[in-house]
Amino acid sequence: MGAVADPVLGQLQYGQVQWLPGPLERQARENHRLLLSLDEDSMLRPFRVRAGHAAPGSDLGGWYDADAFAPGATFGQWISALSRYHALTGHEPTRDKVHRLVRAYAATIEPDGRFYRNNRFPAYIYDKLAGGLVDAQCFAGMGDAVAALAHTARAALPHLPDRAMPRNEHSQPGEDFTRHAWDESYTLPESQFFAWHLTGDDLYRALAIRFLYDDFFSALARGENVLPGKHAYSHVNALSSAAQAHLSLNTVMHLDAARQGFAMIDAQSYATGGWGPDEHFIEPGSDALGASLDGTRSFETPCGGYAHIKLTRYLLRITRDARYGDSMERLIYNTVLGALPLQPDGRAFYYSDYSRHARKGFHWDRWPCCSGTLPLVAADYAISLCFTDLHGLYVNLYAPAQVAWQRGGIACRLTMTTDYPYDGTISLQLSIPTSLRFILRLRIPAWVSTAHVQVNGRSHPAICEPGTFAALDREWQPGDRVDLQLSMPLRLLKVDSLHPQTVALLAGPLVLMRVLDAGAEPEGAPGAESEAEPEGEPPAAAVAEPDAAPAAQPDPDLAPAARELLRARELLSARRPYATARDWQVQTPHRTLSLRPFMDIRDEGYRVYQDIADDAP
Ligand SMILES: [Zn+2]
């Protein structure tokens, strides 16, 4: 056969996945419920006020208001997320809310785009609105959304720059924010390609091409690391535009840019998969990642998570390389799933804190960017779970769920049961009406030491090579059951090569974070075996006033027990007291330490990286 490239893996529809109780299901349910509860007049106020229309209801506050930092910036993402939750659950009140909001929003659009005048983020907001209107049509059956999209594009166009512009072209004092580039025009192509595919209107194709950030992409494609100093989240998000440009225009350079750019980001990531301390990329090979552990703004979690998961989904579908799935799950379990839930008053989790005495907190402003992306992240777990090709099904994430798909017109269903990633046992129950040949592929993470597959209780000879998909090619029978057993080895990862004694402990995909105190739990609550927090501990910088310098937490201020250096072998001896425990324990000569995954940490102090007295093996 000639060198015909494999076609891109097919993505499931949201409605093909039904979650069963688990961490992914929990975060999706919480965000769906929160968006359903938001007052519609309040959501619409920035658009109505700026159009000079009557605007009943109260302001949401924070970044969102008509004269605030980013007016209505998350509205489009909320429309997207509600549409995707409708597709996921079939919930009719969710669809009705999308239809009401889009209709009311459409009534505020004016041809001269008054909304975008004196607005810091015309491209950012247009991008999110376009995405929301495309999704309202695709996932919530809102036929009028396409017309609202066309009006939105016409209104925004005079206020968009001529090309993708660097974000660091800051505004001048007193400027009226109409033409400057402190905006993210370089993330626009992805939504414009979607709009083009949906409508066939060449205007959107032209806009997509106009905003391709080809200076940036071609440098990455040549292998030049031009990331240092760049705003982290928005440039990772731009790589999804490169991936979509490759799919839409068949350009090799854009795929090279996405792959090379991702590899450069991966090389400067924390053990959690997060990147971009203080929202910026660092110099490769420098000590900046280790040095960043003195700060608290370690990773812009919901936005960064959204961009990273979307990019790895593209790259996995295009290349079929299982390691993009490894990267995706590492980021899901160690960052976004541990985000504090978005609150009805707009308090939102923003930065993950990897300082030596870290604590979770909300952003100082209500309704920041991350309140738009967290609901999208949680909705999109469903389309990252499994993929299809001509030969069968790829299972990428391991989570309790039912997946329905068609094969040769035959309805198939797979029910996944697992306590992953706490446990490496995954059961897959197949439900098909008749015998059927196809290949079931299971992701074998690169970090496993051993992996075994059984079919109907008998060992299966599938090759379980770490970092690949194991292929089970078989004439499947109704009721067949597959059991996958992945080892979850403990291992240490250095923060960077210049800090060999600063390490994170991992169990399978989970980073185990050292619990430093019991947080605000009542006295005598579980966790009393952990070290006590000293009296008068200052609040975490993540909840401090805007633009306060990150409050370094020098070790001498910590309780003596929290300063104690561990040994590598002590960390690697971490065990759970019983099989289903959520905490691991390390015994030192002086005490028992608790280690906990990020998604199980609430308000207790924690430490991601441990300073050890000897070098990691
Ligand atoms: Zn954000």
**pLDDT score of 560:** 61
**pLDDT score of 617:** 67
* Domain spans of the chain, in order of start: 38-211, 392-420+424-486, 491-611
Averaged pLDDT, 171-182: 66
Which phi and psi (to 5°) does residue 225 adopt?
-85, 95
Averaged pLDDT, 476-492: 97
Q: From ligand 1's centre to the CA of 368, what distance in Å?
A: 6
Q: From ligand 1's centre to the CA of 297, what distance in Å?
A: 12
Q: From ligand 1's centre to the CA of 553, what distance in Å?
A: 24
Question: With respect to CATH, is domain 392-420+424-486 assigned 2.40.30.10?
Answer: no
Residue 324 has pLDDT above 90, yes or no: yes
481: left (phi over 0), alpha (psi -120 to 50) or beta: beta
**pLDDT score of 496:** 96
Q: From ligand 1's centre to the CA of 319, what distance in Å?
A: 28
**pLDDT score of 170:** 61
Residue with tokens 């960017």: 369
Q: What pTM value is reported for the model?
A: 0.92
**Which tops the pLDDT comparison, 529 or 366?**
366
Residue 526 has pLDDT above 50, yes or no: no
**pLDDT score of 6:** 75
Q: From ligand 1's centre to the CA of 488, what distance in Å?
A: 32
Instruction: Quickly state the pLDDT bin for 5 (edges 50, 70, 90).
Output: low
Report for 47-51, 518-522, 527-531, 555-559: range of highest mean pLDDT: 47-51
Q: From ligand 1's centre to the CA of 369, what distance in Å?
A: 4
Averaged pLDDT, 198-203: 98
Average pLDDT, the chain: 91
Residue with tokens 């905003």: 211
Report for 4-18, 346-360, 555-569: range of highest mean pLDDT: 346-360
Residue 521 has pLDDT above 60, yes or no: no
Comparing C-alpha atoms, which of 96, 42, 102, 112 is closest to residue 71? 42
Alpha-carbon span 526 to 31, nearest angstrom: 28
**pLDDT score of 580:** 87
Q: From ligand 1's centre to the CA of 157, what distance in Å?
A: 25
Residue 183 has pLDDT above 70, yes or no: yes
Q: From ligand 1's centre to the CA of 513, what distance in Å?
A: 23
| Residue 299: partners with Cβ closer than 8 Å, 6 or more residues away | 270, 272, 274, 275, 276, 277, 335, 351, 352, 354
Q: From ligand 1's centre to the CA of 78, what distance in Å?
A: 14
Alpha-carbon span 490 to 509, nearest angstrom: 10
% of residues, the chain, pLDDT over 90: 85
Instruction: Quickly state the pLDDT bin for 596 (edges 50, 70, 90).
Output: very high
**pLDDT score of 409:** 92
Comparing C-alpha atoms, which of 401, 352, 347 is closest to residue 371? 347
**For residues 610 and 505, is the Cβ–Cβ distance under 8 A?**
yes
Q: From ligand 1's centre to the CA of 341, what distance in Å?
A: 14
Residue 523 has pLDDT above 50, yes or no: no
**pLDDT score of 542:** 37
